[in-house]
Amino acid sequence: MGSSYTIPVREVRRVPPPVLLPERRRGTGIGYPQYDLYTAAVNWIQRATAGRNWAGKVTVVLVLLSLFLHFPSYNYLAGHLNGTETNARWTALVEQSAEPFVFHPRPEHVQTEKTTFRLTAPVLAHLLGLDIVGTYLLQFALGVMMLYMGLRYCHQRTADKLMSVLFIAGLCCTYFGSAAFFDIWAQRDPFGYVFLFLALLRRHVVLTFCTSFLAAYSDERALIASALVFLFHWMEGNESPLRRAKPTLTWPDRHAWAVVAAWGVYFATRLYLAHFHGFKTGTSSIGPAMFIDNLTWHCWGLWSGLEGMWLFIAVVFYIIGRRSGWFMALLCVGVLIVLSCVSVLVTDTTRSIAYGAVFLFPAFILAHRHLPERTFKGLVVAAFLCSLLCPQYFTFGYGSLSRSIPHR
């Protein structure tokens, strides 16, 4: 008997058809099938987040999205390096990094006179031996790290990959999430943003203390925003059901006290530098005159700092009031009001109010815990779409709008 031979059958890979909505009834529409964009987007994100390295892959996509929305003016930075342009902020940072604890006088009525105590970036550049390009690359790397760790942090606290990705993507569309990539003017805000985020993690008391201290020395507005970090740690140490009749607050936990300790050390070292090293900061371009000059753009400046993410802020205040008491909600509102007032009294409203975006991470977590699932998902999608579709224009003072574009 001859041996039998079986012809191998080539497996045909089946491509799933597009998700279609039912046809409309006669008299109510065209009658053609419609493509369900939301379901298709959800399926694509679920496939992209499959596997162990999903956070790394999503981070790369988010960085590319940020560069697409606000591409850095690298030609301006190149002009400063070759001498055809002059950026006073980079000049001040390089001088300060060469001698971090020596006072360098600055001309009055310029932005750099207020950077005397913003020592985090110069000290890091000094310790790592970085020049201008190296400092920018360090800033870029910190921005990538914040997006990656933000994804992991939100997923660990909610166990929802899809909503975590959409939330960080919406944050990436704001000034807070993208400044580390497009800020080539040495404004030093990305350092404050990253260290404020790290102070939220509750990994270790020492980490909370060090990052709060470094954030305060990145910018004085980060010192104000660190009060939101303190309030978050206080609330996390007093977990209570949302529907409890009389929510109560106990003594702040050790992470909250670590933030307070960072404040104490910051003010002590600042007084030391002022008394023994002659450090002093300028106060020009601050006050009612700036409020009047930027009167036309205050609403847009405050909106552009958080954009669609303001929806989380509006919802979470009610949750905090029901969960931790209305006194805690008033404290959170008070800190944001102080930060908003400071933002409209200086030249650059957008990047000032963006320090308040650190509170979005607690807002996301609290919304996931206490809102119905359908409401929570709708809130995340709405915030993401508002941030994505909002024009990427920012207020940088003197009654003008600015946009980060690849040319001057």
Tens of pLDDT, residue by residue, the chain (408 residues): 455 555 555 555 555 665 555 554 444 445 445 556 777 877 888 888 888 889 999 999 999 999 988 888 888 888 888 888 888 899 999 999 999 999 998 887 777 888 999 999 999 999 999 999 999 999 999 999 999 999 999 999 999 999 999 999 999 999 999 999 999 989 999 999 999 999 999 889 999 999 999 999 999 999 999 999 999 999 887 655 444 445 566 788 899 999 999 999 999 999 999 999 999 988 777 888 888 877 777 888 888 889 999 999 989 998 998 888 889 999 999 999 999 999 998 888 898 999 999 999 999 999 999 999 999 999 999 999 999 988 777 776 555 666 655 444
Q: What gap in Å lies between CA 252 and CA 235, rounded to an integer? A: 8
What does the pLDDT read at residue 408? 43
DSSP structure string for 203-238: S-HHHHHHHHHHHHTT-HHHHHHHHHHHHHHHHHTT
- The tokens describing 89, both together, are 């902020």
What does the pLDDT read at residue 243? 46
What does the pLDDT read at residue 8? 55
116-119-124 Cα angle (round to 5): 150
Helix ranges (DSSP H) in 294-372: 298-306, 310-324, 326-344, 349-353, 360-370
What does the pLDDT read at residue 242? 46
How far from 234 is each of 40, 148, 205, 256, 259, CA to CA, in Å?
Answer: 40, 25, 13, 6, 10
What does the pLDDT read at residue 113? 87
Q: What gap in Å lies between CA 195 and CA 226, rounded to an integer? A: 10
**CA-closest candidate to residue 163, choices 318, 323, 384:** 384
Q: What gap in Å lies between CA 191 and CA 353, rounded to an integer? A: 15
pTM score over 0.75:
yes
Cβ neighbours around 282 below 10 Å, total: 18
**β-strands 394-395, 401-402 pairing:** antiparallel
